[in-house]
C-alpha cells in the first residue's frame, strides 16, 4: 500500500518568513495530493490540492509543487502570519477505483510574531 | 446536512465497557474514513469504506474494533471492552468520489476511558 513520509515534524519561523513542508510517497500510481490544516482543537480542513497533471499550483500565499519522477511534493507558505500556526498534513491517493487517502505524520508549524 | 456530523462529541466510559461512535457523512458521498488522533499526534487510519466494495480494515488496531456502514450512508465504529489506550479523538471523513476529491472531516468524538 501507499506510504507517505512528511518532514519536518516541527517547524518554527518568524512572522514574514517562508515555510516549506515536504512529503514523499511510495505508490507511483498516486495522482491526487491534498494538504490539510488543523488548528488546535479543530478538524482538519483542505487548504490546497494538486493533481498529477500539474507541477505547481498557487493560492495567494500558499503553493504546492509536485515532482512525480522523484515522488515528492511540497507545501510552500510565504509571508507567514501567526494565524498560519497549526498542524499541516499532506496526503496522497490513487484517485482511481480504490482511491484511499493516505496521510503523512503531520508538521507542527509555529509562526512567532 | 451541510457537513459531516459525528456523535457524541464527547464520551467518557469506564474501562471494559463497549462504546459506539456514529458518523453521518455528507449526503451522496460514497467514501467514508475513520481515523484516530491521540493528543498531539497524527491521523491514524482505522478503516475505509468505498461504495459497495469490501471495506479496507487494515488500520483497525485490534479485534476489539469494528465498523459498519449501513445503506452506504451512516457509519458506526464500535470499540468493545475499552482500554485506557483507546482514549483519543475519533475523526470521520467523507468524500464524494473515491479518493480524488476533497475529504471533509467531522468535528470528531473525544473518547475518554477511565
Q: What is the pLDDT of residue A101?
A: 86
Q: What angle do CA A103, B82, B6 make, to 5 degrees?
A: 50
Distance from CA of A106 to the nearest CA of B (A): 6
Q: What is the pLDDT of residue B82?
A: 98
> Contact, A105 vs B42, CB < 8 A?
yes
Could you say which of A34, A100, A106 has the minimum Cβ distance to residue B56?
A100
d(CA B114, CA B97): 39
The 10 Å CB-count burial string (b at 16+, else e) for B16-54 is: eeebebebbbbeebbbbbbbbbeeeebbbbbbbbbeeee
Q: With CB atoms and an 8 Å threshold, state whether B99 touches A93.
A: yes
Q: What is the pLDDT of residue B112?
A: 97
* Integer Rg of chain A from CA: 14
Q: What is the pLDDT of residue B97?
A: 65
Question: Which of residues A19 and B70 earns the better pLDDT score?
Answer: A19
Could you say which of A34, A89, A99 has the minimum Cβ distance to residue B102?
A34
Cell digits of residue B84: 485506557
Left if phi > 0, otherwise alpha if psi is -120 to 50, otherwise beta: which for B2? alpha
Model confidence over B36-66: pLDDT tens digits? 999 878 899 999 998 888 899 999 999 999 9
Model confidence over A25-64: pLDDT tens digits? 999 989 899 999 999 989 999 999 998 878 999 999 999 9
Amino acid at each position: 500500500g501507499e506510504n507517505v513520509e512528511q518532514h519536518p515534524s516541527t517547524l518554527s519561523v518568524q512572522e514574514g518568513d517562508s515555510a516549506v513542508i515536504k512529503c514523499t510517497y511510495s505508490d507511483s500510481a498516486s495522482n491526487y495530493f491534498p494538504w490539510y490544516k488543523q488548528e488546535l482543537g479543530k478538524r482538519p480542513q483542505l487548504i490546497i490540492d494538486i493533481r498529477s497533471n500539474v507541477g505547481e499550483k498557487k493560492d495567494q500565499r500558499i503553493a504546492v509543487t509536485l515532482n512525480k519522477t522523484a515522488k515528492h511534493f511540497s507545501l510552500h507558505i510565504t509571508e507567514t502570519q501567526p494565524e498560519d500556526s497549526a498542524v499541516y498534513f499532506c496526503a496522497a491517493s490513487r484517485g482511481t477505483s480504490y482511491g484511499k487517502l493516505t496521510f503523512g505524520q503531520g508538521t507542527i508549524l509555529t509562526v512567532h510574531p | 446536512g451541510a457537513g459531516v456530523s459525528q456523535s457524541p462529541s464527547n464520551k467518557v466510559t469506564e474501562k471494559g465497557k463497549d462504546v459506539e461512535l456514529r458518523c453521518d457523512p455528507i449526503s451522496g458521498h460514497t467514501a467514508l474514513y475513520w481515523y484516530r488522533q491521540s493528543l498531539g499526534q497524527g491521523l491514524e487510519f482505522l478503516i475505509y469504506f468505498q461504495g459497495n466494495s469490501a471495506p479496507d480494515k487494515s488500520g483497525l488496531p485490534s479485534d476489539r474494533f469494528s465498523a459498519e456502514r449501513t445503506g452506504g450512508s451512516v457509519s458506526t465504529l464500535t470499540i468493545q471492552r475499552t482500554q485506557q489506550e483507546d482514549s483519543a479523538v475519533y475523526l470521520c471523513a467523507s468524500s464524494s468520489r473515491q479518493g480524488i476529491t476533497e475529504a471533509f472531516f467531522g468535528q470528531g468524538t473525544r473518547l475518554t476511558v477511565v
